[in-house]
Chains A and B, each alone.
Chain A
Amino acid sequence: MDDKSFTVLDLLDLDLKEQNALDIRCIGGRKGLSREISVPDLNRPGLALSGFFESFAWQRLQIFGRGENAYLKKLEEEGKTETYEKLFSYPIPACIFTHNLAPGRDFFKYAEAAGCPLIQTDLPSSEFTSRILRVLSDIFAPQTSLHGVLVEVYGIGILITGDSGVGKSETALELIERGHRLVADDVVEIRCVNGSILMGQGANKVIGHHMEIRGLGIINITHLFGVGAIRDKKQIQLVCGLEEWDSEKVYDRIGTDEKTLEILGVQVPMLEIPVKPGRNIPIIIETASMNERLKKMGYHSAKEFNQNILRWLESENARAVYFNRDDYL
């Protein structure tokens, strides 16, 4: 979550599709749309409605399902509005009515007066609960942004990092030309979902999928290469750090040492790729991606290779022992 607070209006503005859609609309208390949602959690206000306000989790979104709504109806018939008064004395971020339900007139009146937004959804409570928790945990997930290019190569999300001018964008451009996909250029916003998955996306939808190439200026990847060449977000599974070739530095020649980079507490495999004329970086990255897939399938080229060498050396050893023995045969 960035410094900017997340308000009820932001929740209504979220453009979520298909299985993530919340189907919400505001039915009252518009004054309060600027209220902040500060906790990624929900509360069923049953106990509060019955008059018990101890430990009332007012900071959370309040979900009114069929049960709560039936109880509200009963309260309204009996004219017991003091509960409403008490309820809205708390700065509740929003009351959400599921199953397309709506509260009675009195409830509306008190909500309007208190400036508490009333929100309605078509979804049943259980489905809505799981969706909104998913959405909120996404929004409240730890977040950072890194300088680099995020591309999807053979299905693996690769973050290309390196100092400016080392050729990150040019490398990405060549990868796109070769049929891979651009997720974000320059600034990659990263969210840690579920504590272990790093989702990367462009920092801004407006800037999204444009690239700056020295000598060309700003180009629009979607228009130039088509929608097949872009992707909105992708899990970061590998980091390729490009750097100018340093003859003093020792680069990995075998591939059995596994370096990782920590992003938001998650260790991501990292390769250091030295750049110099004559080294075709896009092809190296393509190969790295395929190698990463092989590793995920359980085949580690470098380790397997070394194991074979060790076995072979061992057998040579064994043979030497026999050949040197006088009583052999």
Chain B
Amino acid sequence: MTERLVTIKNRAGIHARPAALIVQTASKFAAKIWLEKGSDKINAKSIMGIITLGASFGTPIRITADGADEEGAAAAIEALFLSRFEEE
């Protein structure tokens, strides 16, 4: 189990495009990946799940990965958040 803590840095928050980007990245890994916002925990491979999280600018998110390639998975997702989903 690998964990990363990130904050959303792009102004628009996680809307459809960033959500799709997360899902695309997450799907490349075999590990189970979750995103947590407060008490909500959702599967990072589900677009609708990520969008309904309602993660807006400045929200802290916990990334959890579990599986053989969990290190790589967590790092890849974290990198997306850090790059502001290639926005701005």
Which residues in A have some Cβ–Cβ distance to B below 8 Å?
Answer: 250, 253-254, 256, 302, 305-306, 309-310, 312-314, 316-317, 320
Contacts and interface: CB of A to CB of B under 8 A. Distances in A.
B13 A256 contact: no
A305 B19 CA distance: 13
Interface in B28-48: 47
A314 B56 contact: yes
B20 A254 contact: yes
A325 to B, nearest CB: 14
Contacts of A302: 16
Contact of B56 (A250, A305, A317): A317
Contacts of B16: 254, 256, 302, 305-306, 309
A310 B14 CA distance: 8
B60 to A, nearest CB: 12
A300 to B, nearest CB: 12
Given A253-B23, A310-B15, A313-B14, 4 more contacts: A253-B24, A302-B16, A313-B56, A314-B56
Majority SS of interface residues in chain A? helix
Contact of A320 (B14, B20, B51, B58): B58
B4 interface: no
B12 A254 contact: no
In the A-B complex, list the 3 residue pairs whose CB atoms are closest, starting with the nearest: A313-B13, A306-B16, A313-B56
Given A302-B16, A305-B16, A306-B17, A313 B54 contact: yes
B56 A320 contact: yes
Contacts of A256: 16-17
Interface string B48-84: 0001001111100000000000000000000000000
Contacts of A320: 56, 58
Contacts of B20: 253-254
Nearest to A306: B16
B23 to A, nearest CB: 6
A66 B7 CA distance: 84
Nearest to B8: A313
A316 B56 CA distance: 7
Contacts of B51: 309
Contact of A309 (B15, B24, B57, B58): B15
Nearest to B57: A317
Given A250-B24, A253-B23, A254-B17, A313 B47 contact: no
Contacts of A254: 16-17, 19-20, 47
A250 B13 CA distance: 23
A246 to B, nearest CB: 13
Given A312-B54, A316-B56, A317-B57, A306 B47 contact: no
A313 B58 contact: no
